[in-house]
A = this chain, B = another copy of it.
Amino acid sequence: MEAKTLNRESWLSAAFSALAEGGVEQVRVEVLAKRLKVTKGSFYWHFRDRMELVEAMLEGWKVGRIEAIKMQTRLDGWAPADRLRDVLSLYGGTSNPRGMAIELAMRDWARRDPRAAEIVAEVDRERLRCVSDLFAGMGLTADEAFARAYLFYSFIFGEGLLARSAAPDRFEKARDICGRVLVPGDAEG
């Protein structure tokens, strides 16, 4: 019961899937077309060229991620530490593998494309600011809060990079301990 005519969103969605699976290099017009069961004639109706697609991806990802982090760190009467634990569990481990794949692909992309680098930089700034504020809300100084946020995000993305081969319970336990180190506090017995 899918819509019988595609639009920009259809192509963007397919593009993000390709990005997650194979990096920017794999978001190719004819490949996406095949996956959408149309020809590229459709693509070049909705987009001027491939560059317009990838720039739409950058912009869409940016606003989506910034909106998400603002939601996730807004404390409506919650304790900062609890919010931090929430964010950690949202990105951590094997939950939301697609989201993590896109994150990593985005960052690999940023390593060689200045436009992507600028987008990732903006998102990172916002994220560091948000969780830095949470740490500051726990009584840390500005410098310490920023350092904690830096450690926090480095761990999250680095974890997605580390090979998770065999012994899953071992990693499970490790992540548990890491969580307690990253966001101090007595909770979470």
Contacts and interface: CB of A to CB of B under 8 A. Distances in A.
The DSSP consensus for interface residues of chain A is helix
Copies of this chain present in the complex amount to: 2
A175 interface: yes
Contact of A165 (B124, B144, B157, B158): B124
Contacts of A25: 23, 25
A162 B128 CA distance: 10
A174 B158 contact: no
Contacts of A107: 161
Given A154-B154, A158-B158, A101 B110 contact: no
Contacts of A110: 163
Interface in A103-157: 104-105, 107-108, 110-112, 117-118, 120-121, 123-125, 143-144, 146-148, 150-151, 153-157
